[in-house]
Amino acid sequence: MTEKEKQQAGELYNGNDRELVAERINAKKLCMEYNAITYNDFQKRERLLTRLVALKGENTVIEPDFFCDYGYNIIIGDNFYANHNCVILDCAEVIFGDNVFIGPNCGFYTAGHPLDAETRNAGLEFAKPIKVGSNVWIGGNVCVMPGVTIGDGAVIGGGSVVVNDIPAGCVAVGNPCKPVRDIDEKSKKD
């Protein structure tokens, strides 16, 4: 089994494998090119983003600067907006539903490292997928950690660190991020 196959299977893998390094370099070059595009050249940004991510829906906007590890593990639904300084470490799949809005300085990190120092120092790591449902709003400076699922209609408060799954239809905040209330009919008007 190759290191990439191990990575995609959720097993420990060597992130310094030549194939993986080459793929990250390619993605970093595309990110650098994307971030250098003139702000109002929407067509060029659209074309480059299509080359970078696995799949994207209609009306996708990712403000520069944007960074990812591979790109081919990122799946984006319709009506997606990510503000400046979005980082997606997509060693495993990162799936965004429709109508997802992300504040500035947010990170989605599928990569993790063993607690055991000897294993970690050997260059081994793992990756767990992240899934963000539809109609989700994520405030600024949020970190979403490996293996997390955020349910449809959830709102994640700014500055939160999401280490556990968040149910649908709630407001969740904090470090660690926890649901604090459901979004009821009155809240929908706030």
Catalytic residues: 113
Length of the chain: 190
Cβ proximity of 80 and 61 under 8 Å: yes
d(CA 57, CA 114): 35
Query: 3-class secondary structure for 154-184?
Result: CEECCCCEECCCECCCEEEEECCEEEEEECC
**Sheet harboring 13-14: ordered strands across?**
13-14, 124-127, 111-112
d(CA 141, CA 128): 21
User: Which residue from 165, 169, 166 is spatially nearest to 184, judged by alpha carbons?
Assistant: 169
